[in-house]
Amino acid sequence: MSPVGSVAENWSLSVYVLGVLAICVIMLVLPPFLGGRARGRAKEDPFESGVIGQGTAQMRFSAKFYLVTMMFVIFDVEALFLYAWAVSIKQSGWLGFIEATTFIIILLAGLYYLWRIGALDWAPAQRRRHVLPHVVNQDQ
């Protein structure tokens, strides 16, 4: 089979590749001619979601943020596994049920451990020890 015959058989792929190349060339060549060239102090500021940034990017975060991220990933993966198990519950039978129950028990043990070491306590230690009087009885 010759290369010309191959291109003739796959004409749609050829048109697609040529279209992609044309779009790439257009995107690289036209913007300098079409875009504005105005400079100003406001155009040089970083801009994120409608909010002008404050401070620097080298801010230090508490390790609690990373703990919450890791807990989210762990329990998100748990939800993924349990969803897959729920979809195939008839095929997995009682053995699958026992495995899923063991999986949930292990994750609950991990959650209990995180709770016991204080990984879920976000309040500062002073606020946890001394409850403010005006917060206790708000219903009265």
The pLDDT, as a whole number, for residue 19 is 97
Token output for 78:
């748990």
> Is residue 127's pLDDT more than 60?
no
Q: How far apart are CA 65 and CA 96, in angstroms?
A: 35
Q: How far apart are CA 103 and CA 76, in angstroms?
A: 14
Judged by average pLDDT, the poorest of 13-22, 73-82, 103-112 is 73-82
The pLDDT, as a whole number, for residue 98 is 92
The residue with tokens 């609690």 is: 64
Using an 8 Å Cβ cutoff, are 133 and 104 in contact? Answer: no
The pLDDT, as a whole number, for residue 130 is 55
Helix (H), strand (E) counts: the chain: 8, 2
Whole-model pTM: value is 0.44
> Is pLDDT larger for residue 136 or for residue 101?
101
The residue with tokens 């050829």 is: 14
Using an 8 Å Cβ cutoff, are 53 and 60 in contact? Answer: no
Q: How far apart are CA 32 and CA 138, in angstroms?
A: 62
The pLDDT, as a whole number, for residue 31 is 85
> Is residue 129's pLDDT more than 90?
no
Q: How far apart are CA 69 and CA 67, in angstroms?
A: 5
* Domains recognised in the chain with CATH numbers: 3-52 (no CATH), 63-129 (1.20.58.1610)
Token output for 77:
């993966």
The pLDDT, as a whole number, for residue 84 is 86
